Amino acid sequence: MALEIITPLAVKEKLKVNVYGVDGNVIGEVELPEVFNVPIRVDLVRRAFHSAFTGMLQPKGRDPLAGKRTTAKYWGVGYGIARVPRLPNGTARFVVSTRKGHAAFPPTPWERIREEVNRKERVMAIVSALAATSRVDMVRRRGHVFSVERLPVVVSDDVESAISKASQAREYLEKIGLWSDVERSREGTGIRAGRGKMRGRAYVEPRSILFVLSSYESPLARAVRNLPGVDVSTPGNLSVLHLAPGGVPGRLMVISRRALEEVASKYRVRPL
């Protein structure tokens, strides 16, 4: 279903980018859809990212009887010791300051941990994040390293089927001037600080290229999915998590001609 966005256009003229063929050479130009000309609302992008990120969190809480399942009871006065529940051997239990006592202010399952965002705001955030992928200054400010002059990088549909190995994908990215960003992600990968190392997320990996392709099962999608920092998505599954990791718009994006047409048909912009 197409989503119509009514907004003023930040860029009046049509944006044109190069189209790269299977050999890595420029084979033509294509006009970007109006969705890449809308104003960039960084505030909406950050709020929508926060909503999508917190939506993946699982509510957690303590058992109401945690630390309270004990036979300890209050002895009364006259013993010269603190008036807390005790076992027959004199060991204090139940209260917060004792061993095996309950936590003072534990997490509760009804705590609000998700940021709610309106549907129109979420759509506008996705459109803004898409527009930011065509701004070279914003992409460079985000830390991406590349040598192309116009963004996003559009490849022909034949590239999706011609490249089926990671080695071929590396050669192709070197030809079009994007492999240095994958190297940046590989060199920036390191061990996480804190207890996350013990919880299955020991490494931090910077985000690099986002491939927007027509299918997850295409040979190119299989070839690049394990490269450092690379994400693969389709036009139907694009979200702020892909387009603006960390809530910062301006991700380096590679999109196929077919996927670009699908994006144009899904997000239709009507100027004010």
pLDDT value of residue 10: 75
pLDDT value of residue 3: 76
Mean pLDDT of the chain: 93
Calculate ∠ Cα 151-249-144, nearest 5°.
Answer: 55
Query: In the block, which residue shows the tokens 């992008």?
Result: 45
What is the fold of 3-57+115-192+202-270?
Ribosomal Protein L4; Chain: A; (3.40.1370)
Give the residue among 2, 271, 263 at the shortest CA–CA distance from 134.
Answer: 263
Predicted TM-score (pTM) of this structure: 0.86
Write the pLDDT tens digit of every residue in 114-128: 999 999 999 999 999
Report d(CA 104, CA 89) in Å as an integer: 25
Please report which residue ranges of the chain form alpha helices under DSSP H. Answer: 42-54, 119-132, 136-141, 157-162, 166-176, 179-188, 219-224, 240-243, 257-266
Write the pLDDT tens digit of every residue in 8-58: 777 767 789 999 999 999 999 999 999 999 999 999 999 999 999 999 998
The domain ranges of the chain are: 3-57+115-192+202-270, 59-113
